[in-house]
Amino acid sequence: MAPEHGIDGSIDRAVCVGSGPCFVIAPGAFALDLDMKAVILDAASETEERLLEAAAECPTQAIYLSKNGSSVYP
């Protein structure tokens, strides 16, 4: 059963360099597309802790997380 944390995410593709910690830490939520940029697959498939860890490990801080319209990360 998927977590019900209610976190949504977005990625600033202009700053994403495709280095990969996001999809290594939370592979259900993140992947690389054909442009070698991160995309969000299904944030609800990962725990809130993994999403936050993935965002924190992004070297360019390209991941933004929100919950109910309020910023959770950064």
- Which pTM value belongs to this model? 0.90
Which residue segments constitute the domains of the chain, with CATH numbers given?
A: 7-68 (3.30.70.20)
Instruction: Return d(Cα 24, Cα 74) in angstroms, integer.
Output: 20
Instruction: Return d(Cα 71, Cα 31) in angstroms, integer.
Output: 22
pLDDT tens digits for range 24-66: 999 999 999 999 999 999 999 999 999 999 999 999 999 999 9
Confidence of residue 1 (pLDDT cuts 50, 70, 90): very low
Neighbours of 65 (CB within 10 A): 21
